[in-house]
Amino acid sequence: MSTETTRVDTRGVLFVHASPSALCPHIEWAVGGVLGIPADLMWTPQPARSGTYRAEYSWSGAVGTAAKVASALRGWAQLLFEVTEEPTAGSEGARFSFTPDLGIYHAVTGLHGDIMIPEDRLKAAVAT
């Protein structure tokens, strides 16, 4: 009898919507640390927020990698980002969003990228 576990891979995208230039290398180090490979993001000026930069980074890794990336980045108060993770045959997808004012938000995503809203959240919205 084997007790081996099979790693299920998925993929996703890190969207850095706005970051001060001083944080850019730290973001690359943090993401690279989670993924176990160097993360070389292509930074471009963010026209919607003067003095900041934006980047997108496609990644692949084990299920749960998006949560690890979001956890690694959420401590920086001047950073706005999202991390997505595609669903697999054995797991749901995920989207993590972070803004300094609102904090981190997690949503489960369906097969086609739609946000799955839990029943309790809908009941609470209707009750108010």
Q: Give the whole-angstrom CA distance, residue 112 versus residue 115.
A: 9
SS3 at position 2? coil
Two tokens, residue 48: 């919607």
Query: pLDDT at position 117, please?
Result: 87
> Which residue segments constitute the domains of the chain, with CATH numbers given?
9-127 (3.30.70)
Query: How many whole angstroms separate alpha carbon 72 and alpha carbon 89?
Result: 26
On whether the CB atoms of residues 42 and 68 are closer than 8 A, the answer is no
Which positions of the chain have pLDDT values less than 50?
none
At position 7, the amino acid (one-letter code) is R
Task: Give the pLDDT of residue 6.
Answer: 65
Would you state the pLDDT for residue 110? 85
pTM above 0.75, yes or no: yes
Q: What is the pLDDT of residue 48?
A: 95
